[in-house]
Amino acid sequence: MKLGVGIGVVGRYVDTVVPTVTSIEVGAINDQVIQIFISEALDTGSTPATGDFSVAGTTGSISNISVGLGTSVLVTLDAVIYDYETVTISYTAGGNPLQDPAGNAVANFSNQAVTNNSSISHPVIIDSSDTVAFFDSALGITKDGSNFVSNWADQSGEDNHLLQATGTNQPLWSSTGVLFDGVDNLMKCVAFTLVQPEMLYLVLKQVSWTSPRYLFSGDVDGTHGGVSHDLPYGAMCVDEP
């Protein structure tokens, strides 16, 4: 009698498939979260640092990165993205890269377009042939790492930007607006001729007041001709130049 012995070799599958970005959008979760969709599930134990990503085209800064169950990465900003903004996002792997459970890493990417499905619109810029300046806390803000503002760009096209080079005099930007401390925070345009009569629109929240403190002045030294807090009730008063 003859016996036959068969030996089978069972191969082990090794995952070498590199996960790729399939789409990027904002607005699906909320208007502060950019969702990056990946072609396969990711390693939830490897979450990149906020500094591994950068966002352009909006004023918000990245505050959190989340790699959850499923096939997406959530990049949260500290301010909303408006529906008219053209936003891009970039990624450079750091110590904890985006990768699948087998260790295959997502490739770095630069200036990838974000599909903007934000639900938040913004008022149209007040514009006419006589508009000399238009400022919006959601647009044209130049700030340092602590959110102190050195340049607030004029959106009217007249280039009458608000400037402040001295750090201790710079107001503080947040997602809700630009906060002036009521003591020595101020921003000024380069001097230009403000033709009379003038019309001024302000949308603001008065947190506290001290008399006299000017909210706006058309005078060179910033102490006359504008809108101020005044006694006895903290009312806003309009002064002649």
* In-domain check, residue 50: yes
Q: Are strands 21-26 and 115-116 parallel, antiparallel or unpaired?
A: parallel
Question: In which domain, by residue range, is 36 found?
Answer: 21-116
How many residues belong to the chain?
A: 241
Which residues, other chains included, contact 170 with Cβ-Cβ below 8 Å and sequence gap of 6+?
148, 149, 150, 164, 185, 187
Instruction: Establish if 147 belongs to a structural domain.
Output: no
The pLDDT assigned to 2 comes to 58
Q: What are 216's strand-pairing partners?
A: 227
φ and ψ at 220, to 5 degrees?
Answer: -65, -40
- Mean pLDDT, contiguous 10-residue spans, the chain (241 residues): 55 84 95 96 94 92 89 93 92 96 96 95 68 87 94 90 95 89 88 79 77 71 61 56 49
Structure tokens at 67: 């790699």
CA–CA distance, 83 with 62 (Å, rounded to integer): 18
How many domains are contained in the chain?
1
Please name which of 128, 130, 132 lies closest in space to residue 190, comparing C-alpha atoms.
132
Q: Which of 28, 26, 33, 88 is nearest to 58 (CA)?
A: 88
Instruction: Tell whether 185 is covered by a domain.
Output: no
CATH number for position 71 = 2.60.40.1220
What pLDDT, on a 0 to 100 scale, did the predictor assign at position 67?
Answer: 94
Look at residue 114 in the predicted model and tell me its pLDDT.
97
Structure confidence at residue 167 (pLDDT): 95
